[in-house]
Structure 1
Amino acid sequence: MSAERISRRTFAGGIAAFAFARRAGAQGYAGLGDTADGFAPVTPGKVFAFPGDHGPHPEFRIEWWYLTANLTDASGAACGLQWTLFRQATQPGPQGEGWANQQVWMGHAAVTRTDTHRFSELFARGGVGQAGVEAKPFIAWIDDWEMRGSERTDDRTLAPLTLRASGIDFSYALTLEANRPVVLQGDAGYSRKSERGQASYYYSQPFFRVRGTLSIDDKPVNVSGQAWMDREWSSQPLSPDQSGWDWFSLHLPDDEKLMLYRLRQKDGRENLFGNWITPDGRSVEIAAPANSLTPLAMTEIDGRKLPTSWRVSLPGHGLAIETAPLNPRSWMGTGFSYWEGPISFTGTHNGVGYLELTGY
């Protein structure tokens, strides 16, 4: 039984790694700018429905369940963690049974402190029970990593949840609570990515409160803090002339939240998008041309120069801050690599959040 399980994991992982590697070498970051003939389009006006939209959307090519947490331990030391499940369809059409299923799954988990950044990666093939998502009762899993609901989980808040993952030299087990509904990003959940019509469906739960245990090198500590989960799906979220993005999720004072990202084009132009989220959960799209994201400091990792510190200016909201990474070497050296790590910020507003840099 053990040998069969290892064999299946190895086989599924090989297929999945090959599929994702093909995308990574394609046009645009990880092939996200490829045309998506045969897959479902993203169009304005979608009416979100829960719990159904917490589950998978296999008619779309790409999807993720993405959680980041800013935590402190009992001594007050800061740390962060990431839990992500990606789904990608290798081809459109009716879903195949068993090993003929065209869904490929990938999981990323990471923990970060000032002195270390640890990460792990899993691959799975759909249709054989090794990975997947169910909307009710909610569970997202790949192997023994899982984000799990219970009979108490509210469809509107997607809480409470338990979360767990582990790598060779780290693990965590957390409980997540929230008392406000999920928030639609972009224009009522329709998130534009370019002027050519590329877009995604996008909502978040930025109000998670977290408690649990994090262990690095078999040394467990109790942690608590706040977390942010993004749900996004699309068939072509980038245009072919876009190379990647710089994305921020920021926990502001008094429970306000800010999601902001810059999409970079290969000719050097940029598109800036985001949403300001009030303490009661109202989401206002940010589209003023006076807003700006400006790199302040670079970190070199594996020959790449990455902008890990930033100045963020939103004059219409009275926000002018500078961000700093908890660990500037928070590089995810996974199948298609990127930078992902906790940050803090000061200025007109003080707080913590997460930064993601792709396509470098």
Structure 2
Amino acid sequence: MNVRLILVLMVWPFAAIAQGFAGLGQGAEGFATPRPGVALEFPADHGAHPSYRIEWWYLTANLKGEDGRSYGVQWTLFRSALAPETREGWADPQIWMGHAGLTTPERHFVAERLARGGIGQAGVTAVPFGAWIDGWRMQGRAAEGRDELSALSLTAQGTDFAYDLDLTAEGPLVAHGQSGYSTKSESGQASYYYSQPFYRVAGTLDLPEGPIAVTGRAWLDREWSSQPLDAEQKGWDWVSLHFESGEKLMGFQLRSTDGAYTSGTWIGADGRAEPFEDGVLTMTPLGRARVAGRDLPVRWRLELPAKGLDVEIDALNAQSWMETRFAYWEGPVRITGSHRGEGYLEMTGYE
């Protein structure tokens, strides 16, 4: 382990006794907090918000090889702040963490990077858009006059895998909750949250057996806050689903000892968003698997009666465990029932 990595780990802000998953229920004293009625601003909000404690750029892709074989890719850059400011050099309180995953029906590959922002090792720029940590990059390639996230290139490498993908958006950005203000609990925790769920993808996966040309679709989530969870919320179950009809669904439930807080956004094929508040979307576990010493629900029933939705989602690979500093489950799923399609499932806080 090199000296830089040791220093990063020594000051990583979630290393203290956690409140909620990965400490996301810690208090927000000294940091900015989301407020309802604040309009999202583009392209500025594609960049970093250092006055908030936690932020991420989170992309998942459902892909197929030329033989119809299914794959999944994840690329995530997290920013976490020790203080609501930026500085040059090692004194910079902005800390960065990158996760990359690649899923096949038989294997799940994982890599992680940790960095400090003030030395140029990681960061994000809004114009031109670019997000990076070490050699991993999410780079904007938008045409003049288009949104900075309308076209991206995406690269990451692990010890035994890599990918190089091009993404082109075929629909608009989508704001969740109240025009981007996404409530997370009855006590009022919230984040700013929007997505670009309309990417078409083409590129190459590099696996131990060799390169594989793939195509598919992807979903980018952008979210920032300073206390996105209530202290009693221990984790979440989150989905991003692409239906064959062209419609889409973002949904999550945040689990606590006395129940779950749910939220969802139905996205029309034209990009029109319809938010649903707590209790409207239901997520019921149907089947479990033994994963990393845990019994995890890898098959779910999702119901949204207002949209005639009653589907089951099933993991492509039940062993899609992200063995990272704060471990969680993340992998592609297949959808059957009233709607058919594919998507991604994330589950955190299972002990």
Identity of aligned residues (%): 52
CA pair 356-239 structure 1, distance change in 2 beyond 3 A: same
Letter in 1 for 2:344: Y
Provide the residue aligned with 1:299 in structure 2. Answer: 289
Shifted more, 328-337 versus 212-221: the winner is: 212-221
CA distance in 2: counterparts of 1:322 and 1:294, whole angstroms: 9
CA pair 258-153 structure 1, distance change in 2 beyond 3 A: farther
Runs (5+) with no aligned partner, structure 2: none
Which of these residues, 238, 244, 252, is aligned with residue 243 of structure 2?
252
Give the superposition deviation at 1:153. Answer: 6.4
**Is 1:84–2:84 an aligned residue pair?**
no
CA pair 114-244 structure 1, distance change in 2 beyond 3 A: same
Q: Structure 1 length as normaliser, TM-score?
A: 0.94
**Is 1:197–2:188 an aligned residue pair?**
yes
Provide the residue aligned with 1:233 in structure 2. Answer: 224
**Any conservation in 2 of the 1:299–1:308 contact (CA below 8 Å)?**
yes
Provide the residue aligned with 1:283 in structure 2. Answer: 273
**Is 1:58–2:50 an aligned residue pair?**
yes
CA pair 164-351 structure 1, distance change in 2 beyond 3 A: same
CA pair 87-153 structure 1, distance change in 2 beyond 3 A: farther
Deviations 1:182-230 (A, max 9, x none): 1101111000000111000000000000000001115101000000000
Which of these residues, 123, 147, 150, is aligned with residue 138 of structure 2?
147
Which of these residues, 144, 157, 162, is aligned with residue 171 of structure 1?
162
**Any conservation in 1 of the 2:142–2:151 contact (CA below 8 Å)?**
no
DSSP 3-state at the match of 1:254: coil
Deviations 1:313-355 (A, max 9, x none): 1111101001110000000000000000000010000000000
Deviations 1:23-68 (A, max 9, x none): 4741211000000100001110111111100000000000000000
DSSP 3-state at the match of 1:255: coil
CA distance in 1: counterparts of 2:78 and 2:44, whole angstroms: 18
**Is 1:358–2:348 an aligned residue pair?**
yes
**Any conservation in 2 of the 1:13–1:122 contact (CA below 8 Å)?**
no
Provide the residue aligned with 2:304 in structure 1. Answer: 314
CA pair 115-156 structure 1, distance change in 2 beyond 3 A: same
Provide the residue aligned with 2:330 in structure 1. Answer: 340
CA pair 335-288 structure 1, distance change in 2 beyond 3 A: closer
**Any conservation in 2 of the 1:157–1:182 contact (CA below 8 Å)?**
no
Runs (4+) off by over 4 Å: none
DSSP 3-state at the match of 2:2: helix
CA distance in 2: counterparts of 1:84 and 1:230, whole angstroms: 9
**Any conservation in 1 of the 2:60–2:74 contact (CA below 8 Å)?**
yes
CA distance in 2: counterparts of 1:138 and 1:248, whole angstroms: 26
How do residues 91-102 of structure 1 correspond to structure 2 at under 5 angstroms?
91-92=83-84, 94-102=85-93
Give the superposition deviation at 1:288. Answer: 6.6
Which of these residues, 187, 207, 211, is aligned with residue 198 of structure 2?
207
CA distance in 2: counterparts of 1:176 and 1:154, whole angstroms: 17
CA distance in 2: counterparts of 1:290 and 1:283, whole angstroms: 15
Provide the residue aligned with 1:6 in structure 2. Answer: none
Deviations 1:210-259 (A, max 9, x none): 00000111510100000000000000000101001000000012211100
CA distance in 2: counterparts of 1:262 and 1:153, whole angstroms: 39
Letter in 1 for 2:230: S
CA distance in 1: counterparts of 2:223 and 2:342, whole angstroms: 22
Give the superposition deviation at 1:290. Answer: 4.8
CA distance in 2: counterparts of 1:131 and 1:154, whole angstroms: 27
Letter in 1 for 2:110: F
**Any conservation in 1 of the 2:236–2:253 contact (CA below 8 Å)?**
yes
CA pair 61-155 structure 1, distance change in 2 beyond 3 A: farther
**Is 1:13–2:2 an aligned residue pair?**
no
CA distance in 1: counterparts of 2:326 and 2:16, whole angstroms: 6
DSSP 3-state at the match of 2:215: strand
DSSP 3-state at the match of 1:17: helix
Give the superposition deviation at 1:98. Answer: 1.1
Provide the residue aligned with 1:70 in structure 2. Answer: 62
CA pair 24-180 structure 1, distance change in 2 beyond 3 A: farther
DSSP 3-state at the match of 1:162: strand
CA pair 62-75 structure 1, distance change in 2 beyond 3 A: same
Shifted more, 235-244 versus 175-184: the winner is: 175-184
Give the superposition deviation at 1:287. Answer: 2.4
**Any conservation in 2 of the 1:156–1:182 contact (CA below 8 Å)?**
no
Give the superposition deviation at 1:291. Answer: 3.1
CA pair 13-154 structure 1, distance change in 2 beyond 3 A: farther
Runs (5+) with no aligned partner, structure 1: 1-8
Matched pairs, number: 350
CA pair 241-44 structure 1, distance change in 2 beyond 3 A: same
